[in-house]
Amino acid sequence: MTAPAHDPRAFLRSLFDAAVAAAQPDEALPRHLPAPPRGRTVVVGAGKAAAAMARAVEAHWPAPLEGLVVTRYGQKLPTRFIEVAESAHPVPDAAGEAAARRMLERVRGLGPDDLVLCLISGGASALLSLPAAGLTLADKQEVNRALLRSGASIHEMNCVRKHLSGIKGGRLGAACGDAALVTLAISDVPGDEPSVIGSGPTVPDPTSFADARAILAKYGIQPPPAVEKRLASGTEAETPKPGDPRLARARYQLIATPQMSLDAAARKAREAGITPVILSDSIEGEAREVARAFAAIARQVVRFGQPAPPPSVLLSGGEATVTVRGKGKGGRNSEFLLALALALGGEANVHALAGGTDGIDGTDDNAGAFIGPDTLARAEGAGLAARAMLDDNDAYSFFARIGDLLVTGPTHTNVNDFRAILIDGNAGSG
């Protein structure tokens, strides 16, 4: 009998752990470090992995350095030379604004012999928040909250964020002046596009004010008057575009991606004698719609052994969205899993895990959750109405009540969401 048949949950957790380990800065960053410059090295950056990335730089940098990075509250790590500040996520706060202003001050006035090493990871868009001219932090917070509830994709959200920012969308890079600029990034976005990762503070921005206006209109978001005025600005207020000479000395390197983590999980599955099937590293769409599609694929494995016969595990990454209509608690991974459990309807021998590789599903204390064939039956026995709780966007409460939350604590990295659906070797064929 295969190992997952003994403990499917432990097997799925081992895949999650392998995915996270592959994206740890200590593992992924050192080999990508540039040579030290003749002048100063200034380290800046933001994201959920920022503290761990800064620590990895310090451990492997052979020359003097200084700098400032910002990470999420509660995710600070000890460093010697690079200051680590903390701010709020997913809605920005004054601490993030203050850190952004100080970061711009640190890179201004550098010369051609100096190097700016920028460390970017998921979460940077909210953590590094500097309102553009004419805007207040409250303006940005209002738009951010509306986007988070709307079901907008991360590409759409970050397009709007860039055009309301004084530091994102290439503006940090433009401020580096004559210094060389190297960005090392951990991707948390489908497609790994540098201009979207952390809202691309050091790279050209191909989007426009018109694109941002169209996104707000698409989701029926009426922005504050100051934001509306900002998005009606002329091209002189636009973000730096491809070919901008201010970014001529900028270089960008991805050091960890969702696909790399999926590959690591696939290797772990093979070691256990389970066939991995990587469906995609960039799944997007409403969490409950994605769940219905994945349930259909799992049933295809159970009934016909396609795309791989049991025992097999379906792996995927990306970022689903949730259009919030209820008043419950939950993130996109727990919502996906509750919808998946309902779509599977207790299908025998099918188990699943979904979790944020940063250790946080939305704003709660869990990374995600687990489901198995008995999930709905156990929930019913606990007096829970699964369908009603999904309709109320209350997946966190659902899984908390039956003890199926995945709780890891902060992982100090972020390569987006990880999903694994195990079809055990005992599955039938009809």
Which two structure tokens, joined as six digits, stand for 342? Answer: 């309902």
Dist. CA 338–CA 398, nearest whole Å: 8
Domain coordinates of the chain in residue numbers? Answer: 3-20+259-423, 33-256
Q: Choose the CATH number for 3-20+259-423 among 3.40.1480.10, 3.40.50.300, 3.20.20.10, 3.40.630.40.
A: 3.40.1480.10
- Provide CB contacts within 8 A for 420, sequence distance 6+: 12, 15, 16, 265, 313, 314, 315, 352, 353, 354
For residue 2, what pLDDT is reported?
A: 43
Strands 41-46 and 66-72: parallel
User: What is the number of residues in the chain?
Assistant: 430
d(CA 354, CA 369): 6
> Which of 3.40.50.10180, 1.10.357.10, 3.30.70.3460, 3.90.76.10 would CATH assign to domain 33-256?
3.40.50.10180
Q: Can you give the pLDDT at residue 429? A: 39
- Model's pTM, two decimal places? 0.91
Neighbours of 403 (CB within 10 A): 10
User: Which phi and psi (to 5°) does residue 158 adopt?
Assistant: -75, -25
Determine the 3-state secondary structure of 74 from DSSP. coil
pLDDT of residue 234: 83
- Give every CB contact of residue 202 below 8 A, 6+ residues apart in sequence: 118, 120, 170, 172, 173, 176, 181, 183, 247, 250, 252
pLDDT of residue 426: 58
- Tens of pLDDT along the chain (430 residues) come to 344 446 999 999 999 999 999 999 999 999 999 999 999 999 999 999 999 999 999 999 999 999 999 999 999 999 999 999 999 999 999 999 999 999 999 999 999 999 999 999 999 999 999 999 999 999 999 999 999 999 899 999 999 999 999 999 999 999 999 999 999 999 999 999 999 999 999 999 999 999 999 999 999 999 999 999 999 988 889 999 999 999 999 999 999 999 999 999 999 999 999 999 999 999 999 999 999 999 999 999 999 999 999 999 999 999 999 998 999 999 999 999 999 999 999 999 999 999 999 999 977 799 999 999 999 999 999 999 999 999 999 999 999 999 999 999 999 999 999 999 999 975 443 3
Q: Pick the closest to residue 314 from 338, 286, 283 (CA basis).
A: 283
| Rounded Cα–Cα distance for residues 177 and 247 (Å) | 8
